[in-house]
Amino acid sequence: MRKIEAPKKIGRPTNNPKSTDRITVRLDNECSSILEEYCKKEKIEKSEGIRRGIKLLKNK
Q: What is the pLDDT of residue 2?
A: 67
Tell me the pLDDT of the chain averaged across its residues. 87
Q: Say what the pTM is.
A: 0.66
Q: Return the HEC string of 9-58.
A: CCCCCCCCCCCCCCCCCCCCHHHHHHHHHHHHHHCCCHHHHHHHHHHHHH
Q: What is the pLDDT of residue 60?
A: 79
| Span 28-57, pLDDT tens digits | 999 999 999 999 999 999 999 999 999 999
